[in-house]
Amino acid sequence: MGLTRKSTRLLELLMLSGLDIIEVAFNTNSLLYSYSGWSSDRNAARNLKSLSNKGLMNLENTNSKANWVAKLTESGKRQLFGKILPEDEWNHVWDGKWRLLSFDLPRDASVERKQLRKWLQARRFGQLQGSLWVTHRPYDNWTNEIQGEQTDPKKVILLESKTIGEIDNQGLISRTWKFDIINERYEAYLNFVKNTSPQSGPSSVRWFEEESVLWNSAYEIDPFLPYSLQPRKYKGRQAWHARKEVFKKWAHTLLSPQS
């Protein structure tokens, strides 16, 4: 179930602004026009109803002319962020076990390798070396998922393990994920939101497009480790809170004339 850019923007607003519920009046000064970029009342209403029909938001008519109350659902949050909700991941209590995945696929099985690699990256596994990948997350029906990716699960080995000897958990993490690059990207995001802010009208659309690119460049490679495993100088939480704050301020400012 893919989302259009406009739909993604609206769901992000509901998720990140802290408003949870917004009342939207369809008019030329509407939040939808200035942020999502829909071109008409009819187009906006059709898209909102489509998101509601898909279970991504609850949408109710207030019985006043052209007014709607929109609330993001849990399904909407999951669709927006995939299976990774940052705060849920950070608050996860780690059980002290690493899950290792190794595969034995011939070099000429390029499609199969590509599909499996894509699956591993989507689940935020880190590549420890070669065909050996690792995650802190507990096993969750991965065998069936891998089979659904057209990979023979018999060619994949799954193990549970703990670090011993000279390499501790932080040593394993530093070898598996490139937190120097992750932090550089979060730092670029933080600099952007510190030195610029969204305005009303078309300029806000451009601002949020750039904001989205900077955020996703870090988000897509972050394993979102729980607090107990995060490197000391990890900047992901700082960037996430800054993102929520800028959305909240902008949304409240934009909506205040309608209240």
> Tell me: the pLDDT tens digits for 52-78?
888 888 777 655 555 566 677 877 777
Q: Where are the beta strands (DSSP E) in 14-172?
A: 21-25, 57-61, 67-72, 98-103, 126-129, 132-135, 156-161
Q: Do the beta carbons of residue 139 and residue 158 sit within 8 Å?
A: yes
pLDDT tens-digit series, residues 83-142: 678 998 999 999 999 999 998 877 767 788 888 888 999 899 999 998 999 999 999 889
Give the angle 81-142-56 at the CA atoms, nearest 5°.
30
Q: Which is more confidently placed, 205 or 224?
A: 224
